[in-house]
């Protein structure tokens, strides 16, 4: 691997400030060509329990620091990440597949959460509330929930970690992170830099594993873990919620999506094409906020489709380390098979492929545009998670709102239009936690990221993000008069 700082490439678990080597290991391979990158220590329930105990011991130390001291350590971590951004991006591309420029963007995006919450650490304010009588005074303080278990996905192996643990650390919590078995190297590289930044032992722990079910069960069932933050599929999220319910843990879930992208008759077509392209094909379509269903008003359907298809045909797939590649490989064979099944089901039921539609050598599907779709096809209700643009036609505002909301998911949604009254009506009517209006990209540290319905609950980022890691304590003072 071509990185300047070879010490960033770690293969051991990181527990209680130490690198822990295990006899049992699992392989991490490059999804582009299948070559072996590294053998990673495979943690089990016992290792996870050790990490939890380390986090429990460290909690008293870390929470005892002033907010300003925690902030300075977080700021040092942010600086180190930015200084090593090129190496971190290279590691990310090799293990996950996305183009290097996109990986570098993720590293900087992830670091922005550390910078933001380093500042928010100093702004965890309480309240003084007028008492119910002259004899009483009421104060409110906020305190860290305790140990946080963070379970992160493979599609954003760096940013999903920082987005979760930066606010937790800022609040005074300690963390145990289980990264995806496909992309543990990015998590471990972050731990190297966290160690250099000066976090006390046990504040951050990384437990890579192939046995996600066992480690996840340990985190959700251990009485010393007070909070779980999970990003992943709705199916697994529901299981984590059930497991956490026995101890009534605080839980944040960022789950699947089925994002609509609506283009109304008065929209700027060229801008809508650009926005849809950016939303649909970022990370090869492998994000939970990617456009999933593209609804085009019948009056602009053909014009949009012609311009959009030409742009999709220009996409180059290949090795993410090559400078002219737009989309890297999909993560595994299962992802390929799922998307090919969606295409086959749709075409068998009458859908038409405009461009793409076939598998390429390796873990690649041709960037695809498919139209003449309807709600009877599997693709309508499934999260695609791949480079497939699914096109639908509509003829009224009421119709498209009904179709856009016709899903169990409620994460991201997008629409393009110019009529300000329509914009207000549609934005309010869409049953989603996030609405992009005349934009196809809206993820930013300054805004609350999260969904409704079966896309989960809780928010990450913004001033609201740190609240997920705090408990409110009300203190009633009597006998003041």
The whole-angstrom distance between residue 348's C-alpha and the CA centroid of its chain comes to 33
Among residues 12, 102, 106, 254, which one is catalytic? Answer: 254
Angle formed by the axes of helices 67-83 and 159-171, nearest 10°:
160
Residues 6+ apart with CB under 8 A from 222: 48, 49, 52
> Distance (Å, rounded) from C-alpha 261 to C-alpha 65?
46
SS3 (DSSP) at 149: strand
Residue with tokens 């305790």: 146
SS3 (DSSP) at 228: strand
> Distance (Å, rounded) from C-alpha 6 to C-alpha 11?
12
Q: Would you give the end-to-end CA distance of the chain in angstroms?
A: 71
Residue 112, token pair as written in the block: 């922005």
CB 282 within 8 A of CB 98: no
SS3 (DSSP) at 225: strand
CB 2 within 8 A of CB 90: yes
Does the annotation mark 371 as catalytic? no
CB 395 within 8 A of CB 260: no
Does the annotation mark 254 as catalytic? yes
Residue 451, token pair as written in the block: 């969904």
Residue 57, token pair as written in the block: 């011991």
Among residues 43, 173, 276, 288, which one is catalytic? Answer: 288
SS3 (DSSP) at 353: strand
Residues 6+ apart with CB under 8 A from 53: 224
> Distance (Å, rounded) from C-alpha 62 to C-alpha 442?
33
Catalytic annotation, residues: 254, 288
């Amino acid at each position: 691997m071509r990185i300047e700082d070879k010490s960033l490439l770690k293969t051991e678990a990181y527990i209680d400030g130490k690198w822990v080597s295990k006899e049992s290991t699992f392989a991490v391979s490059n999804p582009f060509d299948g070559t072996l990158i590294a053998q990673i220590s495979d943690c089990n329930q016992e290792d996870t329990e050790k990490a939890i105990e380390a986090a429990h011991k460290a909690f008293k130390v870390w929470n005892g620091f002033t907010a300003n001291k925690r902030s300075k350590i977080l700021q040092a971590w942010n600086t180190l990440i930015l200084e090593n951004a090129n190496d971190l991006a290279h590691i990310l591309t090799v293990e996950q597949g996305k183009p290097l420029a996109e990986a570098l963007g993720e590293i900087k995006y992830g670091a922005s959460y550390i910078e933001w919450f380093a500042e928010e650490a100093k702004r965890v304010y309480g309240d003084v509330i007028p008492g119910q009588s002259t004899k009483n005074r009421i104060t409110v303080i906020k305190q860290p929930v305790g140990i946080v278990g963070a379970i992160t996905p493979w599609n954003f192996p760096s940013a999903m970690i920082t987005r979760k643990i930066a606010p937790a650390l800022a609040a005074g919590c300690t963390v145990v992170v289980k990264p995806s078995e496909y992309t543990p190297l990015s998590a471990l590289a972050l731990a190297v830099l966290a160690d250099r930044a000066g976090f006390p032992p046990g504040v951050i722990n990384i437990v890579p594993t192939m046995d996600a079910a066992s480690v996840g069960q340990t985190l959700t069932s251990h009485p010393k873990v007070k909070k779980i933050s999970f990003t992943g599929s709705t199916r697994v999220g529901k299981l984590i919620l059930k497991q956490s319910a026995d101890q009534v843990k605080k839980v944040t879930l960022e789950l699947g999506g089925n994002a609509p992208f609506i283009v109304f008759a008065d929209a700027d077509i060229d801008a809508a094409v650009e926005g849809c392209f950016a939303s649909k094909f970022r990370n090869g379509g492998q994000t939970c906020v990617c456009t999933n269903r593209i609804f085009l008003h019948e009056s602009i359907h053909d014009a949009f489709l012609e311009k959009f298809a030409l742009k999709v045909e220009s996409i180059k797939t290949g090795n993410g380390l090559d400078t002219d590649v737009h989309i890297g490989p999909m993560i595994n064979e299962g992802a390929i098979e799922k998307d090919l099944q969606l295409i086959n089901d749709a075409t068998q039921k009458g859908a038409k492929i405009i461009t793409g539609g076939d598998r390429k050598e390796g873990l690649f599907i041709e960037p695809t545009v498919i139209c003449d779709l309807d709600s009877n096809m599997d693709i309508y209700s499934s999260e695609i998670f791949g480079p497939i643009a699914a096109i639908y036609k509509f003829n009224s505002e009421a119709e498209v709102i009904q179709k856009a909301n016709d899903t169990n998911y409620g994460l991201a949604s997008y629409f393009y239009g110019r009529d300000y009254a329509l914009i207000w009506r549609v934005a309010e009517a869409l049953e989603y936690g996030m609405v992009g209006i005349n934009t196809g990209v809206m993820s930013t540290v300054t805004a609350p990221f999260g969904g409704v319905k079966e896309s989960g609950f809780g928010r990450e980022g913004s001033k609201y993000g740190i609240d997920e890691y705090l408990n409110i304590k009300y203190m009633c003072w009597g006998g003041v008069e």
